[in-house]
């Protein structure tokens, strides 16, 4: 980052020198006067762009240790947008055009504000709200549940899983929030959708409930299954043994169903679910083999 800032600074100084040379050449008749304004415009545009990069680069180095990655990146994006607008106005002003007056005079500004406020400006204000409220940081794994997009429910009953878009936040921009979904697919959500959605920050979750249901044969002794299951689950470091429950949830003609509920310290649900299922299947098969003996 420091090398880029230094490189941009050198180019800015070179642009100022080029502007001085252009002015000097025009004053001494070396180039036509009509060429001066276009040269100024190009120099101002290039130099202004580099100045914006320098300022945002310095801001990134100075503010990130204090504000964090998410807010620093949001502030940097806001300054880049504002600097770009100012730069365009300055370039038009070099040629003698009052772009602000032209927009207002043509009624274009009113049209933009009227038609785009709900979309563009809505996303901008929503992005600023996300940066202030900070419900998540870049790098956090989140689930965003919203009615704005259709979601297909899983064919497997995840009793405690929220139906939504789950992944790692990769960027929080002025208009959009980018998420790398667990499937590996990158997703881009408008900030106006994110600000109105249910956001579950899985990275800040200290304990999560994982529930597994299993069918046992009618001859399987429940008390033995429960005791062996509690003993097996207590050996896993990611499971809190004091919050583990094994209960009968349903009874059939020849089988009955048990619910195994554990409190997990792990960030992901599926690895814990797999451990519980494997222990349950092993103990179920052991007890089934004992009951089958004469």
Domain limits, the chain? 2-97, 133-204, 208-292
Q: Determine the Cα–Cα distance for residues 158 and 273; give it in Å rounded to an integer.
A: 10
Q: Look at the block and give the residue holding tokens 């195994």.
A: 260
In this prediction, the residues of the chain whose per-residue pLDDT falls under 70 are 1-37, 39-40, 71, 94-118, 150-162, 290-294
Q: Determine the Cα–Cα distance for residues 24 and 169; give it in Å rounded to an integer.
A: 52
What is the tens place of the pLDDT at every residue in 6-17? 555 566 566 666
Q: Does domain 133-204 have CATH number 3.90.180.10?
A: no
Q: Determine the Cα–Cα distance for residues 149 and 271; give it in Å rounded to an integer.
A: 28
3-state secondary structure the chain: CHHHHHHHHHHHHHHHHHHHHHHHHHHCCCCCHHHHHHHHHHHHHHHHHHHHHHHHHHHHHHHHHHHHHHHHHHHHHHHHHHHHHHHHHHHHHHCCCCHHHHHHHCCHHHHHHHHHHHHHHHHHHHHHHHHHHCCCCCCCEEEEECCCCCCCCCCCCCCCCCCCEEEEEEEECCCEEEEEECCCCEEEEEHHHHHCCEEEEHHHCCCEEEEEEEEEECCCCHHHHHHHHHHHHCCCCCEEEEEEEEEEEEECCCEEEEEEEEEECCCCCHHHHHHHHHHHHHHHHHHHHHHHCC
Please give the pLDDT value at position 225. 92
Report how far apart, in Å, the C-alpha atoms of 221 and of each of 136, 217, 231, 288, 294 are. Answer: 47, 9, 16, 9, 16
Q: Which CATH class is domain 208-292?
A: alpha beta
- The pTM assigned to this predicted structure is 0.55
Residues with Cβ within 8 Å of 157's Cβ and at least 6 positions away in sequence, in order, are 213
Please give the pLDDT value at position 89. 77
Q: Determine the Cα–Cα distance for residues 212 and 232; give it in Å rounded to an integer.
A: 15
Chain-centroid distance, C-alpha 32: 53
- Are residues 37 and 82 in contact, defined by beta-carbon separation less than 8 angstroms? no
Buried b vs exposed e over 14-51: b needs ≥16 C-beta within 10 Å?
A: ebeebbeebeeebeeeebeeeebeebbbbbbbebbbbb
Please give the pLDDT value at position 113. 55
Nearest to residue 75, comparing CAs of 63, 66, 85, 86?
A: 63
Q: Is 240 exposed, middle or buried (0-12, 13-18, 19+ CB in 10 A)?
A: middle
What is the tens place of the pLDDT at every residue in 105-137? 555 555 555 555 567 777 778 888 887 778 888
Buried b vs exposed e over 252-277: b needs ≥16 C-beta within 10 Å?
A: eeeebebebbbbbebeebeebbebbe
């Amino acid at each position: 980052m420091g090398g880029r800032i230094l490189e941009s600074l050198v180019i800015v100084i070179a642009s100022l020198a080029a502007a001085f040379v252009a002015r000097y050449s025009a004053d001494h008749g070396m180039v036509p006067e009509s060429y001066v304004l276009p040269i100024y415009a190009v120099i101002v545009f290039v130099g202004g762009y580099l100045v914006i990069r320098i300022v945002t680069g310095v801001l990134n180095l100075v503010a990130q240790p204090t504000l964090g990655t998410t807010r620093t990146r949001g502030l940097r994006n806001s300054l880049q947008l504002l600097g770009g607008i100012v730069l365009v106005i300055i370039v038009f002003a070099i040629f003698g055009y009052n772009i602000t007056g032209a927009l207002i005079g043509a009624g274009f500004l009113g049209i933009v504000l009227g038609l785009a406020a709900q979309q563009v400006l809505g996303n901008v204000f929503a992005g600023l709200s996300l940066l202030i409220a900070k419900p998540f940081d870049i790098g956090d794994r989140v689930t965003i549940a919203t009615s704005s997009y259709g979601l297909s429910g899983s064919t497997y009953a995840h009793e405690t899983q929220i139906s939504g878009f789950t992944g790692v936040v990769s960027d929080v921009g002025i208009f959009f929030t980018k998420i790398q979904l667990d499937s590996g697919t990158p997703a881009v959500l408008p900030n106006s959708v994110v600000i109105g959605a249910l956001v579950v920050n899985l990275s800040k979750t200290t304990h999560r409930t994982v529930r597994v249901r299993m069918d046992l044969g009618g001859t399987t002794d429940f008390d033995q299954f429960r005791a062996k299951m509690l003993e097996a689950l207590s050996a896993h470091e990611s499971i809190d043994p004091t919050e583990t429950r094994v209960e009968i949830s349903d009874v059939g003609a020849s089988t009955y169903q048990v619910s195994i509920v554990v409190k997990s310290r792990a960030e992901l649900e599926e690895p814990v679910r797999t451990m519980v299922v494997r222990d349950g299947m092993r103990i179920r098969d052991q007890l089934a083999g004992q009951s089958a003996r004469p």
